[in-house]
Structure 1
Amino acid sequence: MSGGPTKEARTMSALDGAVVAVAGAAGPAGRATLLRLAEAGATVVASDADAARLAEAVDAARYAHGGATVTGDTVDLLDLDAARAWADRTEKEFGRIDGLVHLVGGWRGSASFAKTDLGDWDVLEDLLIRTVQHTSLAFQEGLQRSDRGRYLLISAAGASKPTAGNAAYAAAKAAAEAWTLALADAFRKAGGEEGPSSAAAILVVKALVHDAMRAERPSAKFAGFTDVKELAEAIAGVWERPAPEVNGNRLWLTEKP
């Protein structure tokens, strides 16, 4: 039976010694990401609005990888000052910040375009756009100071091909993508002729699936869905690639629509 990575393998990881913040860390994708980043040797600074679920996720990552530094902080990412304070606190405590993984999500939809509830937009604007604006503004300077800074947004294929019942969701995701690409351009400009040392990129999925979903719906195929463990692997893999290669790009984990 094969075990986890050896200490030697972890030392070779591009994430070894990195400090990575994870926003929206308490859900299934967040849990998988905390585990994978800790396994790769990163110091992981997790946040979520749900303190109890966040504590469970942090404890699980610590338990799985003894010796890993995984911390949790309840942060209101709808408050720009709170997001800035989180970024400043992280860099002050650990001396650097090498990544922000943005996993804050939410979904609202309707039976048809005509039945779209604009109240859904109000909710999704906060969850999917405001939180991205705040984490990117809060962490940009710290990531730019790093020689391996990465800002990663998890997005959905529907942003590129909206459906009638998902107008609010697709539009919010598209706006979050555009905002992230603007951050990428800032990194590009800061890098000058040598190219960016930090990068902002978008990982695109159709939808996510995890073990509990499969257990609830054993006959479902979840075609085209990305397992949260695969997403976590792809997130960690971004640090293995040079910043100019990933900066400003959509990294597709599903078929392009």
Structure 2
Amino acid sequence: MSDRVEENTASEGKNVANNGSLSGAVIAVAGAGGPAGHATLVRLAEAGAVVVGADNNPERLAEAVDAARYARGGATVTGETVDLLDLDSTRAWADRIEKEHGRIDGLVHLVGGWRGSASFEQTSLADWDLLEKLLIRTVQHTSLAFYEGLQRSDRGRYLLISAAGASKPTAGNAAYSASKAAAEAWTLAMADGFRKAGGEAGPRAAAAILVVKALVHDAMRAERPNAKFAGFTDVKDLAAEIEGVWSKPAAEVNGNRLWLTEKP
């Protein structure tokens, strides 16, 4: 089951979405209702893309969709509440996008979550049970659901947002870091599928990982005005990097970790 946030009229969308770096591209964003989702929907809409967001919170999703439409008047931006923990529902979402728009050029995976502990021995396996669903299972489902559609595109991209902790886990973040590492491995396996499918000509589509230390946004700064957030990536900067991936050849980004913070 899914609920649609209806778009502006198609004619309005065509009037404004005919220029920009992503003109004509159709890009889905999973986890679109959070701060990173807000920034990404806005950036992609401003770049001329048709943007389709999904989130499990319809109120947050509607706010993100409205913000993206406001940023670029008449842009085609839609939202659906999709159960990304259900593979059939995720496949149906991917199929609807391609059927309605005739193509699918990208999936940006922003579904997140964090649980941690004061020490390794205090790690709760209940945290793992939750994070396995949020950070691994949703990646499995979106990658499987969108894989074939992205290969039919001439600029298909699957982008996972990950954390530096996946490469250098700390004692109190065992469940989180292990979940992120597993999601990265799954995405790299998808990239290898694109590589093999491309043969000598090189991959037609690409799967890549954007790595941050952590994300920061305006509301966080307002809540903690004295905090430095050293090494954090602003969600608007992340959105700009996401847009930029489409300007690079598939072979250049496929199977790579694109670091937005210092490597650990």
TM range (shorter): over 0.9
SS in 2 for 1:11: coil
Q: Which residue of 1 aligns with 2:54?
A: 47
Alpha-carbon deviation of 1:11?
A: 2.5
Q: Which residue of 2 aligns with 1:143?
A: 150
Alignment of 1:177-256 (within 5 A): 177-256=184-263
Contact 1:147 1:197 in 2 (8 A): yes
Counterpart pick for 2:121 among 114, 121, 131: 114
Q: TM-score, normalised by structure 2?
A: 0.93
Alpha-carbon deviation of 1:63?
A: 1.2
Contact 2:17 2:48 in 1 (8 A): no
Q: Which residue of 2 aligns with 1:73?
A: 80
> Which ranges in structure 2 are unaligned for 5 or more consecutive residues?
1-14
Q: 1:202 to 1:71 in 2, by over 3 A?
A: same
Query: Do residues 94 (structure 1) and 105 (structure 2) align?
Result: no
Contact 1:129 1:172 in 2 (8 A): yes
What root-mean-square deviation, in Å, do the aligned CA atoms of Structure 1 and Structure 2 show?
Answer: 1.3
Alignment of 1:145-160 (within 5 A): 145-160=152-167
| 2:37 partner amino acid | G
Contact 2:16 2:75 in 1 (8 A): no
Q: Which residue of 2 aligns with 1:132?
A: 139
Counterpart pick for 1:176 among 171, 177, 183: 183
Contact 1:199 1:247 in 2 (8 A): yes
Structure 1 segments of 4+ aligned residues over 3 angstroms from their partners? 7-10
Query: Do residues 11 (structure 1) and 13 (structure 2) align?
Result: no
Alignment of 1:21-40 (within 5 A): 21-40=28-47
| 1:230 partner amino acid | D
Contact 1:203 1:251 in 2 (8 A): yes
Alpha-carbon deviation of 1:111?
A: 0.3
Alpha-carbon deviation of 1:197?
A: 1.4
SS in 1 for 2:52: strand
Alpha-carbon deviation of 1:64?
A: 1.3
Contact 1:10 1:39 in 2 (8 A): no
- 2: CA distance, partners of 1:224 / 1:56: 28
SS in 1 for 2:42: helix
| 1:178 partner amino acid | A
Contact 1:150 1:199 in 2 (8 A): yes
Q: 1:243 to 1:21 in 2, by over 3 A?
A: same
Q: TM-score, normalised by structure 1?
A: 0.96
Alpha-carbon deviation of 1:210?
A: 0.1
Percent identical among aligned pairs is 82
> Which ranges in structure 1 are unaligned for 5 or more consecutive residues?
1-6
